[in-house]
Amino acid sequence: MGSPMTNPKIPEVNNVYGHIQAPQGLNVILHAVTPVVGEQRAFVHVSQFNGDEILRFASDVAEFESIPLEEPSRHLLNGCVAGSLDEVVAFVRALSGQLAQAAVEHRFEVYDSDQQLIQQLPR
């Protein structure tokens, strides 16, 4: 008999959708989110094709990726967070708090498994 799961499974579909302003580039965002996700699992990738920056980060309970928008310095930042709705909101609140401390303009929406909007952060 296997041991019980210690961490909930990361959902296969996004349950967090957001956007960020990164006028100084995504390395500022990378530095801001590192305390939440850890240094080893967050990085900025520069596309060999068009030079766009893409931020990717993951932890045991979350995975996020940015998508550059046509407007300079604006990016979508979407991902999935495992756990109960309270745990998902708590993770996004911690992420939002780190971005706010770094003076990064941002907005997140948290959805439940039925894709119903639960909360927007910051409020």
Query: What domains appear along the chain, each with residue ranges and CATH number?
Result: 16-118 (3.30.310)
d(C-alpha 100, C-alpha 52), whole Å = 24
Ranking 38-47, 65-74, 89-98 by mean pLDDT, the lowest is 38-47
59-71 residue pLDDT tens: 889 999 999 999 8
Residue 2 has pLDDT above 60, yes or no: no
d(C-alpha 91, C-alpha 122), whole Å = 13
d(C-alpha 113, C-alpha 11), whole Å = 9
Q: What is the pTM of this model?
A: 0.89
Query: What does each C-alpha distance from 21 to 12, 68, 78, 107 come to in angstroms?
Result: 26, 10, 14, 9
Q: Which tokens go with 28?
A: 């500022």
Q: Which tokens go with 29?
A: 């965002």
Residue 46 has pLDDT above 50, yes or no: yes
